[in-house]
Amino acid sequence: MFGRLFRRDQPAPKPIDRDLAQDDLELRGARDRAVAGDWSAARSLLAAPTSREIQVRRVVVLGDAATDDDTWLRSWLTALPEDPAAWAIEAERLAAAAGKARGSRSADRTTEDQFQGFADYSGSAAQAARRAIELAPSAPGPWNTLLGTMLSGFRGVQGQFAAAYAEGLRRDPHSFDLHLTATTFYCAKWHGTHEQMFTVARTAAANAPAGSTAAMLPLFAHFQYLLREHIWGSESVEDFNRRFALCQQYMKTPAVLREVDDCIAKWRAGGRQALGRTMTCRHWQALAYYLSDRDRLARPVHDEIGPYLGSTPAWAHFGGEERTFQVARLCAYRAK
């Protein structure tokens, strides 16, 4: 696989856009104005009518934007201390800080200080999420943030997670983000098993209506399975290439191919979609095609993706986020 990445005769790679807002240009503009000091731009954006999925995604991106400099968010909270949108962003800011404190490496390669930072920020994020819930009881987004804080683990977390998950679903039963967080929580890396992870993902996909992004969650579960069973522990390029070949064998098995294609068909049945988690699902589709050597099918998907990588961690599992995305795109456009 690395040979495909580093061939000397490759053309220069096309530019990649790492902005978390991806193709949500309205979000980009409002975020940039907010970071420059005009927090009302972000408030107006979140007050505009749109889908819950788009709303949740916008809060996540705004929260991440406040991790380096939260001056504008502090000003917002000072001016409007009971604005649930501001508290939702604050919760996501702290959740993003928790993720950055821990890092993305496996537990045996994560330090005690990193774990402690993750737990501390997660606790603060949970408090902010609960405040957002108090101020806007019908909003599902803060429940998802609260779920994410439970990844840090504490006594009785399984029961508390299940209760909070149910509360979130009561507000938005087909929420991509709620189901994604639950699939993550119940994976073997965190607090569950492969079987539990696949059960959550497949149940969400089966119950989702045609066109719902939640229909794509089993693909995420397959990627997590491969990360845990084959990729983690790679010690050299040669070892990684051997492990990557095992991933390809798995993704080419008839049962996996059938499930992947069924999920894609159900999601795509909703017609052309925009924003929210649509771009994430496009990336998952492209990655699934790449791992199963179906590069020709991936080409129109890459046309839809364009340069918008943003942050799509699934690519990182298989050789580095930018590098794997870039080589998959090259393979797609070279396919006959």
Q: Check if the beta carbon of residue 200 is closer than 8 Å to that of residue 183.
A: yes
CA distances from 102 to 199, 222, 234, 255, 308 (A): 27, 23, 20, 35, 26
Q: How far is CA 11 from the centre of its chain?
A: 30
CA 121 to CA 102: how far, in whole Å? 10
DSSP state of 310: -
In whole numbers, what is the pLDDT of the chain averaged over residues? 92
Q: What letter would DSSP give residue 82?
A: T
Confidence at residue 274, expressed as pLDDT on a 0 to 100 scale: 76
Domains, the chain, ranges and CATH?
Answer: 1-18+182-336 (no CATH), 23-172 (1.25.40.10)
DSSP class of 215: G
**CA separation for the pair 306, 304 (Å, rounded):** 6
- Counting residues of the chain whose pLDDT is more than 70, the rounded percentage is 94
Quick check: 72 pLDDT over 50? yes
Give the integer Cα–Cα distance in Å for 314 and 95.
19
pLDDT confidence bin for 119, thresholds 50/70/90: confident
Q: Please state, in angstroms and rounded to a whole number, the distance separating the CA atoms of residues 189 and 202.
A: 18
Distance, in Å, from the CA atom of 138 to the CA atom of 150, rounded to the nearest integer, reads 21
pLDDT for residue 8: 47
Q: Count the neighbouring beta carbons within 10 Å of the beta carbon of residue 193.
A: 11
3-class state of residue 17 by DSSP: strand
- How far apart, in whole angstroms, are the C-alpha atoms of residue 190 and residue 185? 6
Asked if 16 contacts 334 with a C-beta cutoff of 8 angstroms, the reply is no
Model pLDDT for residues 187-233, shown as the tens digit of each residue: 998 999 999 999 999 999 999 999 999 999 999 999 999 999 999 88
Query: What is the per-residue pLDDT for 105?
Result: 67
Supply the pTM of this predicted model.
Answer: 0.93
pLDDT tens digits for range 228-281: 999 988 878 999 999 999 999 999 999 999 999 999 999 999 877 778 999 999
Q: Is the pLDDT of residue 303 over 50?
A: yes
Stretch 140-157: mean pLDDT, rounded? 89
**% residues pLDDT > 90 (the chain):** 81
